[in-house]
Structure 1
Amino acid sequence: MPKILIVGGGYAGFYTAFKLEKYLGKNEAEVTMVDPLPYLTYQPFLPEVVAGSIEARHVVTSHRRHLKSTNVVTGKVTNIDHKKKTATIEVPGLKPYKQKYDHVVVTAGAVSRTFPIPGVADEAIGLKTIEEAVEIRNRILTNLDKAANLPEGPARQRLLTFVVVGGGFAGIEVFAEMRSLVSYLLRYYPNITFEDTHFHLIEAMGRIMPEVSLETSQWVLKNLDQRGAKVHLNTQLQSATKGKIELSTGESFESDVIVWTAGVMANPFVRNTDLPLDERGRITAHPSLRVVDGENIVEGAWTAGDVSAVPDLSGGGVGGFCVPNAQHAVRQGKLMAKNLVAALRGEGIKDYYHENMGAVAGLGIGVGVFQYKKLAIKGLIAWFMHRGYHGLAMPMWERKLRVFGGWVANFVLRRDIVSIEATKNPRLAFETYASRPKK
């Protein structure tokens, strides 16, 4: 049987495998998917996980539960030698081994893109994984608990100052959700006032959310300002050493919670392959999702999602390419499966074409924005549209039901405010009181 190797189990990789199981005949091909994590993370919901509006486990989809006939390998591909059609795979507990394939599908996704700013690597936290979202939430709740026990002063102010770097969709959404969460939590902390809490978003450009119109972005700025959340435009982060924030404007303050959302880049793993890359480190792709070297198709190599430079035939992409978001990755994964099956059967392969369906963002309970071309909807209706769209876009019906069920439960019971910070060191209590042999 032909062997298909899928590198990465995010949106594009998961949906490629999921649809291949539907389209392939019995014994028509052997499919293997490799990813370091055993689940797909629905990243648009990470801000709501931070806010406690969605249970963390509900925004991840198990690979093994939903991929019935795919060989799921929880490990990572460290090298691809496409000339020999061989991949090197590392699995915990085993020596690296090589696996042959006939077709390779590289959907390794993207990682946070940072700059060599002092302190960022040591102090900041990204927002690309479910683990990061949970950690941000735990830090916020733990900081409030600590601050409630302290008198007014620099230490208390540092605990109650929250910073987000990056004013794109992810940054604005998590910033607004963090503000919404802390505003809600204050009812449980009578000795902490609204004025005691400080929120700063740092954006190097002169505007936020380039996916929406200037008018809509200005409405968001006004809404955040009314809620006590300050946005610093045309401002660069100069240093975050030991939590001391220094801005290009000369302003300075300290924070224990610094969230970095200032862009993404293709997974650097692709540099360990012999596949062609563009100047931004993305695998160059043909509209049919086949890897292309100049004008030549690289036989047996396919790519999709954030790791790839797929031409946007609709004309709406930045620089002529599809932007890195779930809207494209999911649809590319589904088309990838169809094209792979067509290639195996010697049938026609289709090009990827998708027109932007608009942009929708949640900005905390009851607040949202939606933009489609010149149509802009703001406020409560847009918030319902955000939840409706992403709730239905969540992979698998069992996950959709868990998400919608959680929203209903939160509406009736109010949001959960428990922090499980102790998961960082789960054996501490046991080790503290465990009996040890006498010397």
Structure 2
Amino acid sequence: MAVKSEPTRILILGGGYVGLYTALGLQKKLRANEASVTIVDPQPHMTYQPFLPEAAAGSIEPRHVVVPLRRVLRRCHVLTARVNKIEHERKTVTVEAADGHIEQLGYDVLVVALGSVPRLLPIPGLAEQGIGIKTVGEAIYLRNHVLTKLDEASSTLDPDLRKRLLTFTVVGGGFAGIEALAELEDMTRDASTYYENIEPDDIRWVLVEAAGRILPEVRDTLGVWTVEQLEKRGIEVYLSTAAKSFENGHVVLSDGTEFDSDTIIWTAGVKANPVVAESDLPTDKRGRLEATAALNVVGHSDVWTAGDVSAVPDLSRTEEDPTATCPPNAQHAVRQARHLAKNIIASLRGGKPTDYYHKNLGAVAGLGLHKGVADAMKMKIKGFPAWLFHRAYHVHAMPTFNRKVRIMLDWALGGLFKRETISLGQINNPKEEFNRASKS
């Protein structure tokens, strides 16, 4: 009697776009006992990051922008843990589990989808004062933080403190920064109508961008138009200007501008998860895994990668630039993941993986309620139509029917009853009242 071989062990590192969509594709196509799939991520959910600005601004319930991994990956093993080390020569990955213990995981096929982390610069005060917006926790914190500053400003008798509390600074003019800025500015202007002593003009929003333009993913004219729209709303835009210091909330810019701000939102770029640069897998000068067009790690047929952590050749642009790689955005990550799942299946069954090819469809950005900008399908779209296009595209890309419906219901309820502009600041220090009671 022939001995039945063990199922191939597929280990997926990262539960973001690439990890989730790859796992979904595998669990749909794998035959019984053909392979086991384990997905490892520090969080038990995937976060749809393009919706984080709307979650921070109260247009979407934060729970609806995350997809619970265990709920949707019924045929996969989900391990809540942080990846510390990859040793491909030994075919092991060292992880730190949720309870703090360290363990090593073996594999036959590895998928590295660890994504990116914020790229921080050595700016004094940034680590202490900065707030990111890459996770749902940061989005919730930002919402409560910003609205709490309005509460504090409405009650203070110190004019200088009031000015500092009502000054909000965003560093980074890419999509993440512009959408966070626009949505939160829209929210604060709406929230100010509920304060007797705060007018919209009292609130100061500042955008700082080191490059000479914003939204590099769209054509120059749309970037210029977006700056004009932001400035019409009273937002101060500093282009070709670098941040020099944030110490104690005192902002110093490279052009000599100085002001105090209690809120520093940092969205100035990302970098590949540093775990890959410390592994024994090949990386490029930017710390990304070197990948083939078929989404294998160069020189390793049993290691696959995609998304922000990888340098995947962009075959739609290699004729004009042989070194071109796919930009780190959700559009490529989702499509690469679906292609990756098909290639892994083909490889398991003795087939040949195919190259990933996708021509960029364009880019869309929300600029607050009923406002947007889009450069898609060779069309320039502005204002309300772009806002509708932005919402339609992202709800289509949002994983699972469950989450699509919940988000559309959030939008419908927001249209009927306006967005919720309530600070739940106690979430940031939930034991404060309990500790106060224990001392009384």
What TM-score do the two structures reach when normalised by structure 1?
0.96
Q: How far apart in 2 are the matches of 1:77 and 1:233?
A: 38
Deviations 1:162-203 (A, max 9, x none): 000011111111111121111111110121112211111001
Deviation at 1:141, TM superposition (A): 0.4
Query: Structure 1 residue 315 and structure 2 residue 321: aligned?
Result: no
Distance 1:363 1:23, change over 3 A: same
Deviation at 1:119, TM superposition (A): 0.5
Corresponding residue for 1:207? 213
Corresponding residue for 2:434? 430
What is the aligned counterpart of 1:305 among 304, 307, 325? 307
- Identify which range, 315-324 or 340-349, moves more after superposition: 315-324
Deviation at 1:118, TM superposition (A): 0.4
- In the alignment, is the contact (CA less than 8 A) between 2:361 and 2:377 conserved in 1? no
SS at match of 1:73: strand
- In the alignment, is the contact (CA less than 8 A) between 2:277 and 2:288 conserved in 1? no
Query: Structure 1 residue 91 and structure 2 residue 97: aligned?
Result: yes
Query: Structure 1 residue 411 and structure 2 residue 415: aligned?
Result: yes
| Unaligned ranges ≥5, structure 1 | none
Corresponding residue for 1:140? 146
Deviations 1:29-82 (A, max 9, x none): 011110000000000011111211111111000000000110100002211111
What is the aligned counterpart of 1:40 among 36, 41, 46? 46
What is the aligned counterpart of 2:340 among 331, 336, 340? 336
Question: Residues 186-205 of structure 1 correspond to what in structure 2 (within 5 A)?
Answer: 186-205=192-211
Corresponding residue for 2:255? 249
Q: How far apart in 2 are the matches of 1:181 and 1:229?
A: 13
Deviations 1:352-397 (A, max 9, x none): 1111111100000111011026420100011011111111111101
Question: Residues 246-285 of structure 1 correspond to what in structure 2 (within 5 A)?
Answer: 246-285=252-291
Corresponding residue for 1:222? 228
Query: Structure 1 residue 155 and structure 2 residue 161: aligned?
Result: yes
| Unaligned ranges ≥5, structure 2 | 1-6
- In the alignment, is the contact (CA less than 8 A) between 2:175 and 2:215 conserved in 1? yes
Corresponding residue for 2:3? none
- In the alignment, is the contact (CA less than 8 A) between 1:358 and 1:370 conserved in 2? yes
Distance 1:229 1:372, change over 3 A: same
Q: Read off the aligned partner of 2:68 and give its amino acid letter.
A: S
Corresponding residue for 1:377? 381
SS at match of 1:75: strand
Deviation at 1:428, TM superposition (A): 2.1
Q: Read off the aligned partner of 2:407 and give its amino acid letter.
A: V
Corresponding residue for 1:234? 240
Q: Read off the aligned partner of 1:306 and give its amino acid letter.
A: D
Corresponding residue for 1:67? 73
Q: Read off the aligned partner of 1:67 and give its amino acid letter.
A: L
Deviation at 1:280, TM superposition (A): 0.3
Query: Structure 1 residue 5 and structure 2 residue 7: aligned?
Result: no
Query: Structure 1 residue 129 and structure 2 residue 131: aligned?
Result: no
SS at match of 2:38: strand
Distance 1:367 1:179, change over 3 A: same
Q: Read off the aligned partner of 1:311 and give its amino acid letter.
A: P
Corresponding residue for 1:17? 23
Deviation at 1:432, TM superposition (A): 2.4
- In the alignment, is the contact (CA less than 8 A) between 1:78 and 1:272 conserved in 2? no
Q: How far apart in 1 are the matches of 2:210 and 2:101?
A: 45
Q: How far apart in 2 are the matches of 1:372 and 1:196?
A: 36
Q: How far apart in 2 are the matches of 1:157 and 1:89?
A: 46
SS at match of 1:333: helix
Q: How far apart in 2 are the matches of 1:156 and 1:253?
A: 13
- In the alignment, is the contact (CA less than 8 A) between 1:33 and 1:71 conserved in 2? yes
Deviation at 1:95, TM superposition (A): 3.1
Aligned residue pairs, count: 432
Q: How far apart in 2 are the matches of 1:435 and 1:376?
A: 61
Distance 1:373 1:248, change over 3 A: farther
Corresponding residue for 1:365? 369
Q: How far apart in 2 are the matches of 1:110 and 1:22?
A: 27
Q: How far apart in 2 are the matches of 1:248 and 1:240?
A: 12
- In the alignment, is the contact (CA less than 8 A) between 2:10 and 2:110 conserved in 1? yes
Query: Structure 1 residue 173 and structure 2 residue 179: aligned?
Result: yes
- In the alignment, is the contact (CA less than 8 A) between 2:193 and 2:199 conserved in 1? no
- Identify which range, 157-166 or 44-53, moves more after superposition: 44-53
- Identify which range, 397-406 or 124-133, moves more after superposition: 124-133
Q: Read off the aligned partner of 1:279 and give its amino acid letter.
A: K
Deviation at 1:127, TM superposition (A): 1.4
- Identify which range, 403-412 or 96-105, moves more after superposition: 96-105
Q: Read off the aligned partner of 1:222 and give its amino acid letter.
A: E
Q: Read off the aligned partner of 1:219 and give its amino acid letter.
A: W
Deviation at 1:435, TM superposition (A): 8.3
Q: Read off the aligned partner of 1:413 and give its amino acid letter.
A: F
Query: Structure 1 residue 400 and structure 2 residue 404: aligned?
Result: yes
What TM-score do the two structures reach when normalised by structure 2?
0.96
Q: How far apart in 2 are the matches of 1:255 and 1:367?
A: 26
Query: Structure 1 residue 112 and structure 2 residue 118: aligned?
Result: yes
Q: Read off the aligned partner of 2:17 and give its amino acid letter.
A: Y
Query: Structure 1 residue 421 and structure 2 residue 433: aligned?
Result: no
Q: How far apart in 1 are the matches of 2:406 and 2:378?
A: 34
